[in-house]
Structure formats: C-alpha cells, structure tokens
Amino acid sequence: MPAKRRTAAGDAAGGDSSSSRASTSRDTGGDIPMSPQTDDPAYKLKRKKNNEAVQRTREKTKKTAEERKMRIEKLKEENTQLKAKIQQEKTHINTLRELIIKGEKDENQNRIIQEILGRPESDDDDD
C-alpha cells in the first residue's frame, strides 16, 4: 500500500494526516464532514464563477434549442409548400402529356398549353 501523503494542513497541525482531516459537524449534531474550503474566500469566488458559467451555458443551450425548434418548423412549412408545388407541376405535366397524346389541336388546347408554359418564371423564387 502506498504511503500516505502529507498535506499542508497536516503539516501545520503537527504531523499525523489522520488528525488533520476535516472535522465533522459534531457541534451541530450532523455526521456530514465540513470542508475546510467552505470559509475560504478564494474557494467561494471560484464556486460563484463556476455557478455563473454553468448558468450561462444552460441559457445558451436553451436558446440554441429554441432556435433549432423554430428552424425545424420553418423548414417543415417550406417542405409542405414545395410538395404542393411539385404536385401542381405534376398535374401540369399530365395535362400536357394528355394533350400531346390526343394529337388534336383546337383553340382550347392551345390556350391550356400557353397558360401552363407561358407562366412567368418569377414564381420559382418565392423566398
């Protein structure tokens, strides 16, 4: 078994490291050991800074999750719109295919073809 290391508190107390261990809270009646660092101002400052850093991290994580959720909703909405546009284009393709297969030309067919093919291209950029 390795030798026990002496701590600064143990050296100051006079040697034996077992006697320099943190005292228990016998005065208050509890069995929980008291840390010698709890009264140390530097320790308290470190804890305070750490708690603040943890809080900032949690807030950042929450904000990121909210932004991600909003982006997902926006993408779902855009996806729905694109699916509707795809369906509309498929309908136009089927209409044109039927007109071509019939092979008959009349004024109504020409109007339908021009209506489908003659649409302005700016409809593609809805952003």
What string of pLDDT tens digits covers the 127 residues of the chain?
566 666 555 544 444 544 444 444 445 555 655 666 678 899 999 999 999 999 999 999 999 999 999 999 999 999 999 999 999 999 988 888 887 877 767 777 777 777 777 765 544 544 4
**Structural domain containing residue 106:** 41-118
- Rg of the Cα trace of the chain? 38
Report the pLDDT value the prediction gives residue 79, as an integer from 0 to 100.
98
Q: Is residue 52 part of a domain?
A: yes
Q: How far apart are CA 110 and CA 106, in angstroms?
A: 6
Within a domain: residue 31? no
Domain membership of residue 55 (yes or no) is: yes
Spatial distance between the Cα atoms of 87 and 67, rounded to a whole number of angstroms: 30
Distance from C-alpha of 114 to C-alpha of 88, rounded to nearest angstrom = 16
pLDDT, residue 97, reads: 84
Domain count within the chain: 1
pLDDT at 36: 61
| pLDDT score for 28 | 53
28 part of a folded domain = no
In a domain, 76, yes or no: yes
53 is a domain residue: yes
Whether residue 57 is contained in a domain is answered as yes
